[in-house]
Chains A and B, each alone.
Chain A
Amino acid sequence: MKPAPFDYFAPTTLEEVFELLNRYGGDARVIAGGQSLVPMLALRLARPEVVVDLNRVPSLSGITEEDGVLRIGAMTRQARALASDIIGTKLPLLHQGLLNVGHPPTRARGTLGGSISHADPAAETPMVMLAYGAKMVIAGSAGERTVEAAEFTLDTFETCLEDGEILKEIIVEASADEGTGFSELARRRGDFAMVSAAARIRLDADGRCAEAHLMIGAVAPVPLRCDAVADALVGTQLTERRIRDAVRLIDLNSFSFDNAEVSLAYRRHIAPTLASRALAQAVGRTGGLRT
C-alpha cells in the first residue's frame, strides 16, 4: 500500500507545468486533488516517474460569472463549488451532483477538473457537464483548445487530453427558469453510484415542457444521453404518468456494465426509476408544476 518512488514538482505557473509535462512526456502524471490518483499510486495501479502538482498554480482555481456564463477553474475544490452561491443558484444540477461526490474530507481536496479528467464512469461531474452541454478548455504548451463535454470523455478513465495537456477551465452557460433533478443509488452515501440520473427541465409560459435533458450514469463507459426520453417529453404537460411512460424509452441495450456487485439486469431494472425521480424532481423545481 505504498506508492512506488517518483519525482515530484510543484510548479506555480502554467508555463512551468507545460514545460515539465513536455520534458517528461508519458512518464509524468499531473495531480489535482489527489483523491483518485493517490489511491492508484498506493495500490500501484499508477506508477508515474514524475508527479506534477497543480495545487500551487493559483490561476487554475476560481469561479467567475459574466452574462450568465460561468467559468470554473479546473482546480476549484469540490467543497468550494458545493458551497458557492453562484453555483447553487445558476447551476443547481452541479450542486446536486456534488452532494453525491464522496464525503466532506474528500471534497475538501478533490477538484472539479480532477474528477472530470479522471473520467470514472460512475462519477457525477462528467454527467452533469454533459447535461449542461459544458465546454472544456484544454491547455498545453501549444495553446488552448475548447471541446464539448460530449467529446471530452471518450471511455472508461479516458479523455481526449493528449500528453502535455491539462483541463484548464470549464465553461457552462446557466439557463434561467429551469428545474434540475439528480437521483443516484449507492449502497452507502458517497459510494460509487450503481446507477445515477440527472435531469434538466424548462417549461414554456403554458406550463408545457419546452426543453428536457436526461442523462444516465454508471451503466456504460461514458454517461448516456437519453434524447428519446427528452423528445417524448417536449411539448407535453408533464405529469408523473407522462414521465413514467417516457422513461420506458431509455435505451437499455446501450447499458454494458455488469459485475458481481451490480448486475446489468439490476442496472436496467432501476435506471427508469432513478430517471423518473430525477425528472420529477426537476419538474418540481421549475416552480411551474407540482408532481
Chain B
Amino acid sequence: MNKRRVDLTVNNRAVSMMVEPRLSLADALRGELGLTGTHLGCEHGVCGACTIIVDSDPVRGCLMLAVQAEGAEIVTIEGATPVVGLSEIQAALREFHGLQCGFCTPGMVMVLHHLFSNNPVPSDSEIREALSGQLCRCTGYQGIVNAAKAVAARHMHQNVQPRETSQDHRE
C-alpha cells in the first residue's frame, strides 16, 4: 500500500515521515523517528505503556494511526524528561520504588506529566484516576501512587502553578 507523507510536531520539532496507513503512531515514533522511549506492551490499547501526549491530551500511541497525526503536536517521553538526569516525576518514581523492570514507566511518566502540568497539586483520587489506564506488573502500584503523592506534596509546598494552558474541554 502506498506510503503517505505526514507532517507533525514532535517534542517541539517539526518533522515529517513517510508511513503506510496501517502503521500505528507509536510504531512510527519508534521506527521512523527513532524515539524508542515510547514502549509498546500489548499493542491493542490495554496496557498504556505507549501513552503519549497528542494535542495536549494523553493518548494511547498504539490506538492512533500515524497518518491520523497530520498536523498534530506530540510530546513523547523524550520531550517530557531531560536528556541528562531525571525529571521531578522520574526522581520521585525512583525514590518511592515506583518501578522495577521499567517497561511501563514511560507511560506512567507521561500520564503523570500531563496530570501535573494541568493540575500541580492533584488529590489522591485524581492521581489514581490519572493512573487508572496504566498497567504495571511489578510494583503493585502503591510505589507509583506514593511517588505521585510526593510530587503533589512538593508542589503544594512550593505553590507551583499549572505549566501549560490546560486543554479546556468545557463548553
> Which A residues are closer than 8 A to B by beta carbons?
1-8, 10, 31, 34-35, 38-39, 41-43, 51, 53, 55, 63, 77, 79-80, 82-86, 102-106, 108-109, 188-190
- Chain A residues whose CB sits within 8 angstroms of the CB of B43 once the complex forms: 1-2, 42
By the criterion CB–CB under 8 Å, are B169 and A38 in contact? no
| Across-interface contacts of A7 in B (CB, < 8 A) | 1-2, 21
B47-91: which have CB < 8 Å to A?
A: 48, 51, 54, 57-60, 62-65, 67-68, 70
Given contacts A8-B65, A39-B44, contact A86 B171 (CB under 8 A): yes
Q: Give Cα distance in the complex from A42 to B41, angstroms.
A: 13
- Contact of B171 with A85 in the complex, beta carbons under 8 Å: yes
A63, B171: Cβ atoms under 8 Å? yes
> Which B-chain residue is minimally distant from A188 (CB atoms)?
B132
Say which residue of B1, B4, B60, B170 sits within 8 Å of A84 (CB atoms).
B170
Q: A51 to B66: give the CA distance in the assembly, Å.
A: 13
Q: Are A104 and B58 in contact (CB under 8 A)?
A: yes
User: Is B70 a contact partner of A106 (Cβ separation < 8 A)?
Assistant: no
A247 to B39, CA, bound (A): 47
Q: Which residue of A lies closest to B48 (CB)?
A: A105
B24 on the interface (CB 8 Å rule)?
yes
Separation of A3 and B170 alpha carbons in the complex (Å): 35
Question: Does residue B133 face the partner (Cβ distance < 8 Å to A)?
Answer: yes
Partner pick for A5 among B20, B130, B170, B171, CB 8 A cutoff = B20
Partner of B63, one of A2, A77, A83, A109: A109
Residue B10 interfacial (CB < 8 Å): no
Q: In the bound complex, do residue B60 and residue A109 qualify as a contact, i.e. CB atoms below 8 Å apart?
A: yes
The 4 closest A-B pairs by CB, nearest first: A103-B133, A8-B21, A83-B169, A108-B57
Cβ contacts A to B, 10 pairs, < 8 Å: A2-B22, A3-B22, A7-B21, A8-B67, A51-B21, A103-B132, A104-B133, A105-B133, A109-B60, A190-B133
What is the CB-to-nearest-CB distance from B49 to chain A, in angstroms, rounded to a whole number?
11
* Residue from the set B48, B51, B57, B171 with the largest chain A CB neighbour count within 10 Å: B171
Shortest Cβ distance from B109 into chain A, in angstroms?
Answer: 13
List the B residue with the shortest CB-CB distance to A35.
B63
Q: B21, A106: Cβ atoms under 8 Å? A: no
CA distance A80 to B168 in the complex (A): 9
- Interchain CA distance A27-B4 in the complex, whole Å: 20
Most chain A beta carbons < 10 A, residue from B4, B20, B65? B65
Chain B residues whose CB sits within 8 angstroms of the CB of A5 once the complex forms: 1, 20-22
A103–B45 Cα distance when bound, in Å, is 10
Contacts of B133 in A (CB 8 A): 102-106, 190
B68 to chain A, nearest CB (A): 6
